Structure 1
Amino acid sequence: MPRSNGDVEAFEAHASDADLDDLRARLAAARLPEAETVHGAAPGRRRWEQGVPLADLVDVVDYWRTGYDWRSFEERLNRIGQFRTTIDDLGIHFLHRRSPRADATPLILTHGWPGSIAEFTDVVDELADPEDADAPAFHVVVPSLPGFGYSDKPATTGWGTEKIAAAWVELMGRLGYAKFVAHGGDWGGVITTVLAGRFPAHVLGIHSTLAQAPPGLTTDGLTAVEREWAEETRDFWLHRVAYAKQQATRPQTIGYSLVDSPVGLLAWILDKFAEWSDTEDSPFERISRDRILDDVTLYWLTGTGASAARIYYESHNSLDPELRVDVPSAISMYPRDVEKCPRPWARERYRQIVRWGSPEAGGHFPSLEVPDHFVTDLREGLAVVLAARR
């Protein structure tokens, strides 16, 4: 088991006024490039084909400087309950909301990149203390990945998905949760898969919005829709992952810009919210500027642009092709996500899929895009998972 000091300490988020003033000053002094050469395009995704359009960025930067309220987000974090503990010599930050319900099940939610704990702050209360007394309730734990947010930045290599999964088992045990369910998307989905595959004695079951099949499977026997999913995912990995290649091979290089320039950080992250969300012209069709800026500002104030990028260096394409998941699994493929795995492929890794969800709307960030549906889908999926254990 990872080395630890065993202590769990309460934590409160509070940026200094000087740091917030510095952010506003940097935003006011930003030097921007000329407009993209497709800026005259009609509303639609083509406006974004060269990256974040200048007009959109200017609008968000102005709001970030003059209208956004970071203190409101800090208050939300502190109200949920924040803690830190040390696992394998690294400080890990997490949200922890215990349910008042005696029948609640421990649940760990793991975010990815360019997300953060900000993805889950609006759903924690409803998961822990649902208005519907018949809905399942959970003791909710939301850790910040190593190098993200208020978790420490690793000073050595080695903090990939396998080590993170082992740390999550230690974290949950330290909170008194020897057995638990887990959810994740993006890197959180990979870590959730590793959790379930490596630690079935602790993981009762999982819910994931990401399923990664073993390599080498053919499209024989897939439906037309499943073939389309496979082709879209292949296209994504062939043509739309420059960000991942950069962060997997040269995270330090892009890290200088992400830590030094709030506008550079914003553009790098906003580009993904735009491309990966279920929208036609702007990510703000589904996600408010405030919610995206909660996420971006957390990266900025903690100076984690470079350290967060390194998860790609540590773990890109590292999921063990032989890893299999035998615990009950609920998987949901949101229609506008960038990776959608055909169910027959998913069954090759996840051996007990007890629920397969195909929501009508939503993309890569469902807890922000369609939060009400996300909560319902997660609860229903985990209810089936837990029923399969009985």
Structure 2
Amino acid sequence: YEPRPYIVALNESLIEEARLKASTFRNSVDGNTPAWLDGPPASDIEALAQYWVDEYDWSTTQVEINANFSHFYTTVPPPSENYTEPVDLHFIHQRSSRDDAIPILFLHGWPSTSLEWGKVIPSLINPESSTDPAFHVVAPDFPGFGFSPDFTGSRENVTRAEYATIFTDLMSQLKYDRFLLYSTDLGFAVANSLIVDYADRVINHISDFYYIFPTDEDHARLEANLTTPEESTYILASDDFFGYHSGYSAIHRTLPLALAYTLNDSPIGFLAWYYHLADVVSDRPFSPHDVVTNTLLLWIPGVYGNIRSYKELFGVFIPDENYTVPTSVLQFGGTQHYPALEGLTFAPLDWVERTANVTYFSRCATGGHFPAETVPDVVVGHIRNVAAG
């Protein structure tokens, strides 16, 4: 298997079908419900639908995607006995001109694609200062996301271990024996397998989503007023998110196909589904252009292919053993609509050290769940710090 150059060229008829469906979208009436209590405001969805119909231009976006990044397509061997079919992948491979550049593999989550890293790639490959480290960036789309097709065989027995093997095999094809690993969201679940099964390949695991679930003992300490203020804030924010804001994940990991029929049939319905989660966990609004583009990148390959990944990865993104690979934890705070979620991303350092070999730790008040998009310069700075040791 050999990687080959790839030009992004989505089916124009499917793009037009999405626009036409958006033009006949039947909005919901949210009545007197407070904004964001039951979902995104109907006025937001109406405005986004109108923007998609009247202003959005995929052709211009596609030209920019092709011009700004080096795209490739490859096939990796069957990852294990659990999944015995070859796997096709799209990935961005942006090489630095520097001989001392360090390979770095980026793993995204849902609702994201390889383009989540678009704002950090240029500074990583070509730093302005010769004293800053440079990087060869590899950013794949997970199967069923973006420009990677879905798995072709049965996914019934696919686990995070198969994903880890798939992406490690990709790095092997590119002749990168050792590399930095950056994970977020569901990519963190994959990373937790990769740093065990291929620990000798990973220089350092950097994650902006090192999530620690509070244990029964932690909750008991909270009830007994024995937790620190930092711990209390984190436990309460975690309980609030998983009690009131994670319904999407429960459906994704139980009945993804049943949901996908509806979301595939209505691009605006899927936009609303995506927009709600993205806006809840971000600390600032996305532009209408980015909302529609990100929706398309998950809708075009078929919604089932990407939301089904929760069935394989969501239940195992919790760190479940003591990792020896050097680990860099980046925490970014901020929320727009739900004050109770403040602190959700701020797991106490000593909690992180329950499982991680922490060699670098940073906490930033802003940035939200998508820091590579909202505060890219900050993310680049941390990656450089980690690489510099």
TM-score under structure 1 normalisation? 0.88
Amino acid at match of 2:29: E
What percentage of residue pairs aligned between the two structures are identical?
27
Match of 2:308 among 307, 310, 313: 310
The answer to whether structure 1 residue 21 and structure 2 residue 30 are counterparts is no
The answer to whether structure 1 residue 343 and structure 2 residue 340 are counterparts is no
Q: Distance in 2 between matches of 1:362 and 1:58?
A: 27
**Cα deviation digits, residues 270-303 of structure 1 (max 9, x gap):** 0011111114xxx2xxx32222322111122222
Q: 1:216 to 1:226 in 2, by over 3 A?
A: closer
Q: 1:320 to 1:339 in 2, by over 3 A?
A: closer
Q: Distance in 1 between matches of 2:186 and 2:70?
A: 24
Match of 2:29 among 25, 34, 41: 34
The answer to whether structure 1 residue 383 and structure 2 residue 387 are counterparts is yes
Tell me the CA shift for residue 322 of structure 1: 4.1
Q: Is the Cα contact below 8 Å between 2:149 and 2:301 reproduced in 1?
A: no
Q: Distance in 1 between matches of 2:72 and 2:290?
A: 22
Give 3-state SS (helix, strand or coil) of 2:72's partner: strand
Q: Distance in 1 between matches of 2:116 and 2:213?
A: 28
The answer to whether structure 1 residue 115 and structure 2 residue 112 are counterparts is yes
Match of 1:370 among 360, 368, 375: 375
**Cα deviation digits, residues 291-336 of structure 1 (max 9, x gap):** 2322111122222x11101111122312476432212111011113
Match of 2:282 among 274, 277, 286: 277
Q: 1:35 to 1:99 in 2, by over 3 A?
A: same
The answer to whether structure 1 residue 85 and structure 2 residue 82 are counterparts is no
Tell me the CA shift for residue 95 of structure 1: 0.7
Residue in structure 2 matched with residue 59 of structure 1 by the alignment = 47
Amino acid at match of 2:191: T
Q: Distance in 1 between matches of 2:71 and 2:294?
A: 16
Tell me the CA shift for residue 375 of structure 1: 2.1
The answer to whether structure 1 residue 144 and structure 2 residue 156 are counterparts is no
Match of 2:234 among 218, 229, 232: 229
Residue in structure 2 matched with residue 75 of structure 1 by the alignment = 63
Q: Distance in 2 between matches of 1:108 and 1:73?
A: 24
Residue in structure 2 matched with residue 3 of structure 1 by the alignment = none
Q: Distance in 2 between matches of 1:113 and 1:71?
A: 24
Amino acid at match of 1:10: P
Q: Distance in 2 between matches of 1:143 and 1:383?
A: 21
Give 3-state SS (helix, strand or coil) of 2:238's partner: helix
Tell me the CA shift for residue 193 of structure 1: 2.6
Give 3-state SS (helix, strand or coil) of 1:182's partner: strand
Matches for 1:58-207 after TM superposition, within 5 Å: 58-79=46-67, 80-87=69-76, 88=78, 89-154=86-151, 155-157=153-155, 158-207=157-206
Give 3-state SS (helix, strand or coil) of 2:356's partner: coil
Q: Distance in 2 between matches of 1:237 and 1:339?
A: 13
Amino acid at match of 1:187: L
Q: 1:66 to 1:216 in 2, by over 3 A?
A: same
Q: Is the Cα contact below 8 Å between 1:82 and 1:96 reproduced in 2?
A: yes
**Cα deviation digits, residues 153-185 of structure 1 (max 9, x gap):** 123123332211111111001101010001011
Q: Moved runs in structure 1, 4+ residues, more than 6 A?
A: none
Q: Distance in 2 between matches of 1:69 and 1:135?
A: 37
Q: 1:222 to 1:194 in 2, by over 3 A?
A: farther
Tell me the CA shift for residue 239 of structure 1: 2.3
Q: Distance in 1 between matches of 2:319 and 2:359?
A: 22
Give 3-state SS (helix, strand or coil) of 1:206's partner: strand
Structure 2 residue ranges without an equivalent (≥5): 79-85, 336-343
Q: Distance in 1 between matches of 2:65 and 2:292?
A: 15
Q: 1:32 to 1:346 in 2, by over 3 A?
A: same
Q: Is the Cα contact below 8 Å between 2:333 and 2:345 reproduced in 1?
A: no
Q: 1:339 to 1:161 in 2, by over 3 A?
A: farther
Structure 1 residue ranges without an equivalent (≥5): 1-5, 39-45
Q: Distance in 1 between matches of 2:375 and 2:363?
A: 13
Give 3-state SS (helix, strand or coil) of 1:358's partner: strand
Amino acid at match of 2:123: E
Tell me the CA shift for residue 228 of structure 1: 0.8
Q: 1:276 to 1:212 in 2, by over 3 A?
A: closer
Tell me the CA shift for residue 106 of structure 1: 0.2
Q: Distance in 2 between matches of 1:34 and 1:149?
A: 31
Q: Is the Cα contact below 8 Å between 1:205 and 1:328 reproduced in 2?
A: yes
Residue in structure 2 matched with residue 41 of structure 1 by the alignment = none
Amino acid at match of 1:383: A
Q: Distance in 1 between matches of 2:27 and 2:382?
A: 41
Amino acid at match of 1:195: L
Q: 1:271 to 1:208 in 2, by over 3 A?
A: same
Q: 1:214 to 1:66 in 2, by over 3 A?
A: closer
Amino acid at match of 1:347: E
Tell me the CA shift for residue 218 of structure 1: 3.7
Q: Distance in 1 between matches of 2:137 and 2:227?
A: 37
Segment drifting more, 315-324 vs 368-377: 315-324
Over the residues paired in the alignment, what is the CA RMSD in angstroms? 2.0
TM-score under structure 2 normalisation? 0.88
Q: Is the Cα contact below 8 Å between 1:77 and 1:121 reproduced in 2?
A: no
Matches for 1:288-303 after TM superposition, within 5 Å: 288-303=287-302
Q: Is the Cα contact below 8 Å between 2:256 and 2:307 reproduced in 1?
A: yes
